[in-house]
Every structure is written in structure tokens, then in C-alpha cells.
Amino acid sequence: MLATRSSTLIAPYGSKLVDLRVPAESLAELKAHASQLPSIQISPRSVCDLELLATGAFSPLDRFMGQEDYQRVLDEMRLANGHIFPIPLTLAVEANRELHLDRDIALRNHKYELLGVMTIDEIYKWDRTEVAYKVFRTQSLSHPLVAELQSWGDLNISGRLQILNLPRHYDFQDLWLTPAQTRAKLASMAGHAERVIAFQPHRSLQYLDQEFAEYIVQAVDGIMLLHPAVGLTKLGDIDYYTRIRIYRALIEGRHLSDRFLLSLLPLATRMAGPREALWQALIRRNYGANHMIVSRHHASPGSPSESTTFYGPDDAQELVERYSQELGVMMIPEPKWHETLPGVSEGSPAVSIARPSIGAGYPTNGHTSPRWFARPEISEILAETCLPRHRQGVCIWFTGLSGAGKSTTAEMLTWLLLEHGRRVTVLDGDVVRTHLSKGLGFSKEDRDTNVRRIGFVASELVRLGGVVICAVVSPYRAARNQVRNMMGKDQFVEVFINTPLEVCEARDVKGMYAKARRGEIKGFTGIDDPYEPPDDPEITLDTVNYTPQENANFIINYLIEQGFITVRQTNKVKEQ
């Protein structure tokens, strides 16, 4: 009976699930071998990719791509053998003396734990511009992945993989299912396994429309695989825990709950819009789904400004539809009702668990609370975890030339924030260079490292609810955007201090411009080193016509508008 049922699930893409895990009996021997090998540490993103390669989620792909696969994927969205594959899944590394063809190398995570062994059979250069253009359709550093890939190594390596240890997941242990485990569960579910509908709830607007889900399950007469992509979730990311607890609460003990399977997908998303949607359809097929719900703007990073978007709203749906026959995964378009959020109208079936919409709109701005909000099990979870905006953290990042007025304005702003009852940390570039970044120089690489270090510390403090003011020249756009992406959505306020070079030079607070002009110091930003102004900063300040106090007040007003400071508190301070 079981055998018949499982045979009704769609076969993995390429007919067989790849499995790169070394059998138990060979583990000890390979571990001993690995301990003798040179090692490379791979990024958290590559660890996610490796996990999905190992368990067959990317079948029939069984390795990080070699050059032929990489090139055809960029040009035609296909592997060299003709299978559809829209995203270049590569392992980028820095040039390294230990890298040799036909040699084994140990792959380790950031904690230096051993993951597996690669037998290198290709080392090749890749082209950032081409990847950005072909996969992400933009060169804009506002796209989070285009910004991120600027810091990836210049070489891709490829070769046979033998996996010794998969990343361990300690939370929600029953929910991390491999493709094989997912298939086994689906196959045993109530005999509906011939129609499995994958649904990836959105990340930015995290909602699950339960009535819609129930409707689909009944209409298609199938099972819904609720499959949030949670690959790069950081430890302590409260939004993630909240989302998953809510999905679980929504499913458990409800009508048709035996037709839903919740499973966490350790996928590091690329935000590549249509290409990403197609990739997700391929991945879902390997998990046993033959339908996928695709939203408008699917896997899109959202617009850098309201006026531009990276992908057309329907591009993702159209692309998945175009390949659906060949891939064996039917596209189900998601209804458009969610576009009405945050003010979900009465009678709408929307079930929103969007923290941003709660932070921004509920209940302070008087939006109608959606019906689901009354459900005690959901309200309880949200009450435990969702802080109001004025208790959430935020990073205020000053960027501009030396002498532009970053430190001066930052200091002024600090006083005002403290007065408004917020806790504040200041990370000043000059100060940070005496400890956190001691020893770093002023090459592009060192400057970017400095910015990323400050961003890392800031993001940890923001996560704990602090206001962090960073005052750093931070001349490169990509590095600043990377820091933006380390914070939660809307928790990064980029303040461009737009003081003309002549003014900064005339101020010459530290006498550095004079030295740079005399050639006594090299690589000074604005003189013989570039400064890339932000494309779309939240705030631009003019220090020629406005005083530091006026500018700091301008930022305070912005923070009040955004809800990071409550007006009530302001009044209280004034009344006392």
C-alpha cells in the first residue's frame, strides 16, 4: 500500500535524488583524511547551498557548478546537460596557494567545523558584472545580492563533493525535513500525494492566507507543502521564530490540518525575481511538489525607491508558467489581495503576520485589525515577541567626506535621542580604528572590512533594541548596502552628509587635507581616493546652510515620523 502511494509523488528532477552524504561506514576514514588536508572556510550562504546540494534539493545538480554549467546557466538557464537551472550555484573563493587541480580540500564553516571534502577539478574566473546583469538584471548596488557579490572571491571552484557533516539545526527540530524525508511524509498523507502544492510564504510581507490555502487544497484536491525559505536566518532573529510559531499555530488542530505539511527549507534566497521563482519550482519538485503558488513580485527584493523595481510584477509568474510543462510543476498564481496591506479591509480573507505592518500600523495608526488578529493563539505569540516601533532598534549611518560633519552631527543627535528616552551607542570611525579595526589600513579592501565590522556590531545592538549611530566615511556604496542588508527592514537610516569637498577642505579639522594635497598621505578620500555618494539615502543633510542642531532635529523628526520615537514622550519631556 505504501509503495503504491509513494509512487504517485512526482519523481525528482532528473529522476533520482542526489545524495552526497558519505555512508556511515566510511565516515571515520574520510574524517581522518580531511584532517590532513588544507581547508577553506565557506560563507553561511555557501553552507546553505552545500546542505541542499548534499540532500538532493538541487537534483540533478550534484556539485558547485563548473564553468560549462555556469556559463550556460547564465545564458540559457540550463545546465550543460540541458536540464533547467536558472541560478548559478557556484562556490566563489579567494585566490589561495592551497588550491590545486585534482587535490582534495576540506570545506569548513565559519566556526571551522568540518563539512565535507571537495576534489577540485576546476578553478575558473567569474564575472561579477555578467552575473549581475544576466541573473539579477541590474548593476544597481541597491539590489542586495549585487551588493553582496562584490565581496565574493574572484575564483569559482568545482569538483566532486563528499559530505561528512550537514549543518545542525537546533530549533524546531521536527520541521527540518530533507527532500527524502519530505517525500516520505507526503506519500503517507491521506492519499492526496499526486497533487502537492508548494507555498513559500513571503519574507518581507510574511503572511499566510489560511482561507485561501484551504480553498486551494480543496480545489486542487491535494496537499499543501508550506515551505518557508529560512536559510540565512540568524540566531536570535525574532521575526523568524514568530513566523514559524504562527504558521504552526495556524495549521495545528484546524480544519483540513491533515492536508498541510510545514517544513523549513534551508535555502539562501537570491532575490532574483523570475529566475529565483523558477529555481524554487525546481527545488520544490525535488521535495515532491508538482504545483507551486507564485506571487506577483515573487522573490523580488522590493524597490530601492518607490519609483523603480527590478522586475515586472508578473515576470515571475510568467516565467514559471512558461517552463511548467517541461519542469512538471504547475504554476498557481497567488491572488492579489495582499497588495492592500497593511490596512486589510473588513471581510478580506487575509491572514497577515507582517511584523512591519504591525510595527508601522497596528494598532497605533488606527488601521482596521484583520480578523485573524482576534484569534487568541496568534495574538499571544505576537504579544510575546513584537515590540512597538519605539522600542525597536535602528541604525543611523552617517556617510560623507572627512570633515563633512558626521561626528559633530552624531554627537548632537546623541544628546537629543537620550533626551527622548532612547538608549544610544555611537560607533565613530576614528574611534573604532583604535580598537575594533586596529591595524586596518585605507585600501578599498580594508575600508570595506572596517565598514562591515562596524555594521556587524551595529546590527547586533539594533537587534537588541538599541539606537546605534555610526559615523564613518564609508566611501563605497556596495559595502554600505551590505550593512543595510544586515539590519531588519526599515531599521537602517542612511544619512548622507553632503558637504562639498571645498568646504571640507577649508575646514580641515585634522589638517589631513593639507597633508594629502602635499602628497604626504596617499589614498585620501576626495583627493586621490573615490567617494561614491548614496543612490537613495533616507536623509541628505546640508551643513553649509544648516547648523548641527538644525540637522540633528531634522533627523529626530524623521525618527518620530517613522515611529522610532514616540511623540507622547516628547511632549512629556517638554511639559516637565
**Residues with catalytic function:** 474
In this structure, which amino acid lies at residue 443? S
Smallest distance, ligand ADP to C-beta of residue 540, A: 13
- Using alpha carbons, list the distances in angstroms from residue 72 to 104, 249, 324, 491: 26, 43, 20, 38
**Cα-flanking dihedrals φ and ψ of residue 223, to 5°?**
-120, 145
Distance from C-alpha of 476 to C-alpha of 482, rounded to nearest angstrom: 10
Distance from C-alpha of 69 to C-alpha of 53, rounded to nearest angstrom: 15
- Does 450 contact ligand ADP by CB under 6 A? no
DSSP conformation letters of 470-489: EE-----HHHHHHHHHHSPT
- Provide Rg for the chain, Cα atoms: 26
- Does 403 contact ligand ADP by CB under 6 A? yes
Smallest distance, ligand ADP to C-beta of residue 429, A: 7
Q: Which of 190, 509, 514, 567 binds ligand ADP (CB under 6 A)?
A: 509
Cell of 133: 546583469
Q: Which is nearer to ligand ADP, 98 or 430 (CB)?
A: 430
Smallest distance, ligand ADP to C-beta of residue 507, A: 5
Smallest distance, ligand ADP to C-beta of residue 409, A: 5
Distance from C-alpha of 575 to C-alpha of 570, rounded to nearest angstrom: 9
Interaction with ligand ADP in 461-480: which residues (CB under 6 A)?
471
Q: Which is nearer to ligand ADP, 253 or 511 (CB)?
A: 511
Q: Which is nearer to ligand ADP, 272 or 552 (CB)?
A: 552
**Element spanning 539, H or E:** strand 539-541
Size of site (CB under 6 A) for ligand ADP: 16
Nearest residue to ligand ADP by CB is: 405
**Element spanning 48, H or E:** helix 44-55
Stretch that binds ligand ADP, among 35-43, 267-275, 343-351, 398-406 (CB under 6 A): 398-406
Q: Which of 59, 290, 402, 485 binds ligand ADP (CB under 6 A)?
A: 402
Q: Which is nearer to ligand ADP, 404 or 495 (CB)?
A: 404
Q: Which is nearer to ligand ADP, 230 or 469 (CB)?
A: 469
Smallest distance, ligand ADP to C-beta of residue 449, A: 20
What is the number of other CB atoms lying within 10 angstroms of the CB of residue 230? 23
**Cα-flanking dihedrals φ and ψ of residue 39, to 5°?**
-120, 150
In this structure, which amino acid lies at residue 283? I
Nearest to 497 by CA among 416, 401, 395: 401
Smallest distance, ligand ADP to C-beta of residue 206, A: 38
Q: Which is nearer to ligand ADP, 404 or 417 (CB)?
A: 404
Q: Which is nearer to ligand ADP, 49 or 505 (CB)?
A: 505
Contacts 24+ apart (CB under 8 A), 499-504: 499/400, 499/401, 499/403, 499/404, 499/405, 499/542, 499/543, 499/544, 500/544, 501/401, 501/526, 503/403, 503/543, 503/544, 504/401, 504/402, 504/403, 504/404
Return the axis-axis angle of helices 315-327 and 273-286, rounded to nearest 10°.
30
Nearest to 467 by CA among 447, 487, 483, 450: 487
Query: Which residues face 114 on adjacent strands?
Result: 108
- Does 400 contact ligand ADP by CB under 6 A? yes
Smallest distance, ligand ADP to C-beta of residue 416, A: 14
C-alpha 553: how far from its chain's center?
A: 32
Smallest distance, ligand ADP to C-beta of residue 432, A: 12
Q: Which of 159, 201, 231, 405 binds ligand ADP (CB under 6 A)?
A: 405
Distance from C-alpha of 550 to C-alpha of 542, rounded to nearest angstrom: 10
Stretch that binds ligand ADP, among 147-155, 259-267, 405-413, 414-422 (CB under 6 A): 405-413
Stretch that binds ligand ADP, among 332-340, 357-365, 399-407, 431-439 (CB under 6 A): 399-407
Cell of 140: 544597481
Smallest distance, ligand ADP to C-beta of residue 541, A: 8
Q: Which is nearer to ligand ADP, 159 or 405 (CB)?
A: 405
The H-assigned helical ranges of 252-287 are: 273-286
Return the axis-axis angle of helices 444-463 and 477-486, rounded to nearest 10°.
20
Query: Which residues face 83 on adjacent strands?
Result: none
Nearest to 291 by CA among 334, 335, 331: 331
Q: Which of 453, 507, 515, 517 binds ligand ADP (CB under 6 A)?
A: 507
In this structure, which amino acid lies at residue 128? R
Smallest distance, ligand ADP to C-beta of residue 447, A: 14
Draw the binding track, 524-553, toward ligand ADP (x: CB under 6 A; -: no contact).
-------------------x--xxx-----
Dihedral sign for Cα 519, 522, 524, 528, please: positive
The H-assigned helical ranges of 351-508 are: 355-361, 376-385, 406-419, 429-432, 444-463, 477-486, 501-507
Interaction with ligand ADP in 408-437: which residues (CB under 6 A)?
408-409
Q: Which is nearer to ligand ADP, 342 or 403 (CB)?
A: 403
Smallest distance, ligand ADP to C-beta of residue 401, A: 7
Q: Which is nearer to ligand ADP, 133 or 554 (CB)?
A: 554
Q: Which is nearer to ligand ADP, 86 or 405 (CB)?
A: 405
The residues that touch ligand ADP, with contacts defined as CB under 6 A, are 400, 402-409, 471, 507, 509, 543, 546-548
